[in-house]
Amino acid sequence: MRKIMILAITLSLTVTAVSCKKGADKIGNAVLNLGGEAEANAIIDFNNNFIDSYKNTSKHIDGVLRYADAAVAKAKGEKVLMMPLVLNAMDYTFAKIKEIPSGFKKDKASVEADFIIYKTKKENIEKKFDELKSYINSEDYKDDKGAKAEQIKKELNADADAFFTAGENLMAKIKPATDAAEEVVLKDHPMKEYIISSKNLMNSLDSVIDLLGRQYEGKFNEAEAQKKYDEFAQKVEANSKLDFNVKDPQYSSKKTQFENFNRNASNFLDTYRKLIRDSKEAGKIPNGDIQQIDSSYETVLNSYNSFVR
């Protein structure tokens, strides 16, 4: 169940992973309580860096917990053909977060408190993972019959729970400020219409992923899945019908990326229809289908990020 839960969380990350920061004039404090472009950009930078860190670290932690499960089994004498390969966390953006932006105003202290927990648990997990690898590689489990492996696994699970709780709290707290910051920087942006529409599409996709994550853990509900499909299909159709007509040469080349984003969103619908059909027959969402949805989601997300950068 641990792996399934984290898969669902991982799928739902970074709906607004990259926000557009160009084309803004300075605006006073009266606008959304932000002090203008500089303060808005600081919030957007924090949002982008944190969510990218959270996404990549979540996948890494998923691997660590799978390794811990196998480590306990091996230490207890069960047959484990191969220990899970845990890739290094490609978390290059975490180091870019130097401080909590002042633009969070009254929420800054609360954001900072959750971020400290996030950072601490992230570091704890890495240390305990290294300790567990040393224990397994040296075959120290032959001395204590796996007792240490069980203890480390218990600690890893507790730290992972705290990590994800802090991460979800941060996501919820920084979103309103990020949305406000985007309104500031998009005030006169040549691509405002297309960015807002595309973001709405991604928000709908996030809702789809959240539903499928919950149904993957539990019972497949065709009516709910179809309703979300229809809602997302409407967003894809609306976005695809927009005629990208930006004259500014700085952004006119974005037309190809906008079309690619819409094409990938349409391809996601193909994958989604297959999942609904297969899940209806099986009575649950098959592993292969959720993996295909995950891959298709990543493709849509990456093309969205490329478009708005």
Per-residue pLDDT of the chain (309 residues), as tens digits, is: 222 223 322 323 333 444 555 443 332 333 345 557 788 889 988 998 998 899 889 889 999 999 999 999 999 999 998 999 998 877 888 999 999 999 888 899 999 999 999 999 999 999 999 999 999 999 999 999 999 999 999 999 999 999 999 999 999 899 888 888 888 888 888 998 999 899 899 989 989 998 998 899 889 999 999 999 999 999 999 999 999 999 888 888 899 999 999 999 999 999 999 999 999 999 999 999 999 998 999 899 889 988 987
Express the helix, strand and coil content of the chain in percent, nearest 5 each: 75, 0, 25
For domain 1-187, the CATH class is mainly alpha
Cβ 289 vs Cβ 275: under 8 Å: yes
Cβ 10 vs Cβ 55: under 8 Å: yes
Neighbours of 245 (CB within 10 A): 9
Q: Which CATH number fits domain 190-309: 3.30.43.10, 1.20.58.820, 3.40.630.10, 1.10.287.3510?
A: 1.20.58.820
- How many whole angstroms separate alpha carbon 191 and alpha carbon 232? 22
pTM: 0.76
Equal fold, 1-187 vs 190-309? no
Cβ 52 vs Cβ 13: under 8 Å: no
Per domain, the residue ranges of the chain are: 1-187, 190-309
